[in-house]
Amino acid sequence: MPRDIPVGNGSMLVTFDREYQIRDLYYPYVGKENHTIGHPCRMGVWVDGQFSWIEGEWQKTLRYKEDTLVTNVKARNDRLKIELQMYDTVDFHLNIFVKEIVVRNLEGRDREVRLFFNHDFHIYENEVGDTAYYDPDTRSIIHYKSQRYFLINCCDPAKCGIDHFATGIKEVHGAEGTWKDAEDGMLSGNPIAQGSVDSTLGINLQIRAHGENVAHYWIAAGMKYSEVAKLNKDIWEKTPEELIRRTENYWKLWVNKEVFNFHDLPQRLVSFFKRSLLIIRTQIDNNGAIIAANDSDIVQVGRDTYSYMWPRDGALVANALIKSGYMDTTKRFFQFCADVISKEGYLLHKYNPDRSFASSWHPWLKDDKKSLPIQEDGIALVIWALWNHYDEFRDIEFVKPLYRSFIINAAEFMVKFRDEETGLPLNSYDLWEERYGVHTFTASAVIAGLRAAGNFARAFGEHEYGNNYYEIADKMKNALVTHFFHKEQGRFARMGKRTANGYELDMTVDASLFGLAAFDVFSPEESMIVSTMNAVKEKLQVKTSVGGIARYTNDYYHRVGTDSGRIPGNPWFICTMWLAEYGIMRAKNLTELNDALPILDWVVDRALPSGVLAEQVDPYTNAPLSVSPLTWSHATFVTTLIKYMKKREKISLCGECGNSEFYMHRHVQKPL
């Protein structure tokens, strides 16, 4: 089930599913630890002796307030004659998740409404040894284990503190949990439980006929009791309304920090551009890790998640943020990579947000020989993105300590990690993490990474290094043509396996072949690239009403249906937008440039109502598949729209005055 409305501040992340249940609560890192591991935390309403959890029978709309990370959720229950208006956020500064609930009475008589909140914690991502108890000093429920504390409380306009509570056992001896206790409108008052536990609390509201009343609910996260008790005091003193207001203002400032001239772009694309930036930020830890996705439902498929920092994904997301003007967030990502790079100069498969090496399925042994379990494209693209960061912001003091230990270290690894005869990279895993060999996308990324390292070396006056990296990159480009361009088929192979006589080519059409142009290895007008991308467009188009572009022919991942003739694979947002990017790169006039807009509209049309993008969609129904949101999907939208705006600026350049009618934010090209 997708995560429709994530909210967070870089240390605490809360996600909701389509039923408006809290499903993930990450703290103290985005992506680590998930203290619910996907178990739902429910909200319910009791009125006139009737009870309903906010699930199926409620009519719900889950969205955000414009330009913010404050939700805007409406829920209506015609049977109960109750309507709720709710706003959720995580304070931009304090680790407090706060919810405002406006309860509207649709009956023509005064009524008492009771709100109930259930919490199914698995602290430190397991249910062993948790404690839940009622704390009389704060009039709250506290869940804790070791150095993780969660204080949960409520208030209404007249008082702070909960009116009902229960703690109890769950998931053992047939116990379902205290949420069942709430369904008669009362709670047992059991003050403490330990082991595998949950809790439920409630608050009473008196509401006049056709009137409304307001309640607030919050979860404060900390390392010890005194910390969460202080946060609870802070929210009492500052008021929940103030925390929501200031957080709303902060995110409006954040997402509008750069002045883009969107000119006549449709407003829905502009709004989605900003929404994508905000959703990207929810998936980034304050210590630098750019997490691929935080949707724990994927655990049901392979008993693992996407809550890791892949260097490749991180580099591409960082590049989108760089082009959007976000210097500090991306600096922390590059510092993260510099901290974890090996002394040999490579980055491993993926990392946890605390900088530890994450789970991996890439072996250290292949064909009875030691083999590095790496995706070399990730190493190369981090250096490529770091050069783009320097080129954009010219922050020499940030780059200086990274130059020798990180940039040159990685570049020297890429130089050594080559076939001595052909000059192409040695075997590693592809960007889709499925095949081991020499990949066109990887080679393109390495060429871009070596050129970026060459730029740095020349900037630092080490021309011998710089010229060497450029020379090796040029040889690798030529080797790609020699060994990977199939003259009979008139296009590039997606990968090759080294043999005694050269490379055994895999000619499967793969959307990642866009890397040949994306990283400026070849001109998009080069006939070899045109023919390759024409094959991508022709062979990977999903020929249903849904449309879009698949990753490659006969893609099996989360595959829906068996009609390979019409559906080469599920449509991916990333791959579809790559086609738009390629069209933007080739556009010679506004008419050709605007051919990209229907593809961007296609993306927006298939987002969730909140603006969240999944990894892929069902080719028959448009339903989101795999994880949601996928950070890379949103970053690709940001990148594509910025490329559109830049190309429009270039096309619209005034030949006489040298200025552009569509000049965009503060960026000017700087010489090396």
303 pLDDT band, cuts 50/70/90, is confident
Q: What is the mean pLDDT of residues 487-493?
A: 97
Which one of 1.50.10.10, 3.40.50.620, 2.30.30.90, 1.10.600.10 gives the CATH number of domain 257-651?
A: 1.50.10.10
Q: What is the mean pLDDT of residues 553-574?
A: 94
- Closest to 335 in 3D by CA, of 306, 359, 314: 314
Residue 664: pLDDT over 50:
no
pLDDT at position 661 is 45
Residues 173-201: tens digit of each pLDDT: 888 899 999 999 999 999 999 999 999 99
Residue 257: pLDDT over 80:
yes
Contact present, 4 and 17 (Cβ < 8 Å): yes
Determine how many CB atoms are found less than 10 A away from the CB of residue 157.
9
Residues 225-244: tens digit of each pLDDT: 999 999 999 999 999 999 99
The Cα–Cα gap between 462 and 448 comes to: 19
537 pLDDT band, cuts 50/70/90, is very high
pLDDT at position 64 is 98
pLDDT at position 672 is 39
* b/e 200-213 (16+ beta carbons within 10 angstroms → b): bbbbbbebeeeeeb
| Rounded percentage of the chain residues whose pLDDT exceeds 70 | 97
Q: How far is CA 235 from CA 153, 243, 251, in A?
A: 10, 7, 19
Residues 331-389: tens digit of each pLDDT: 999 999 999 999 999 999 999 999 999 999 999 999 899 999 999 999 999 999 999 99
654 pLDDT band, cuts 50/70/90, is low
pLDDT at position 300 is 64
Q: Which 8-state DSSP code applies to residue 309?
A: B
Determine how many CB atoms are found less than 10 A away from the CB of residue 308.
23
pLDDT at position 67 is 98
Contact present, 584 and 651 (Cβ < 8 Å): no
pLDDT at position 301 is 63
pLDDT at position 290 is 98
Residue 666: pLDDT over 50:
no
298 pLDDT band, cuts 50/70/90, is confident
The Cα–Cα gap between 640 and 664 comes to: 15
Within 13 A of 461's CA, how many CA atoms are on the CB side?
Answer: 1
302 pLDDT band, cuts 50/70/90, is low
**Distance, C-alpha 123 to centroid of its chain:** 23
Q: Average pLDDT over the chain, rounded to whole? A: 95
Residues 434-457: tens digit of each pLDDT: 999 999 999 999 999 999 999 999
- Segments making up each domain of the chain, as ranges: 7-254, 257-651
As assigned by CATH, the class of the 7-254 domain is mainly beta
Sequence-separated (6 or more) residues with CB below 8 Å from residue 220: 94, 95, 96, 150, 151, 152, 153, 228, 231, 232, 235
Residues 406-431: tens digit of each pLDDT: 999 999 999 999 999 999 999 999 99
Residue 663: pLDDT over 70:
no
656 pLDDT band, cuts 50/70/90, is very low
pLDDT at position 1 is 66
pLDDT at position 607 is 98
| Rounded percentage of the chain residues whose pLDDT exceeds 90 | 92
pTM, to two decimals? 0.95
Cα-Cα end-to-end distance for the chain: 48
Q: Which 8-state DSSP code applies to residue 629?
A: S
The Cα–Cα gap between 29 and 418 comes to: 37
Which two structure tokens, joined as six digits, stand for 56?
């199926």
Residue 623: pLDDT over 60:
yes
Residue 45: pLDDT over 70:
yes
Residue 671: pLDDT over 60:
no
Residue 668: pLDDT over 50:
no
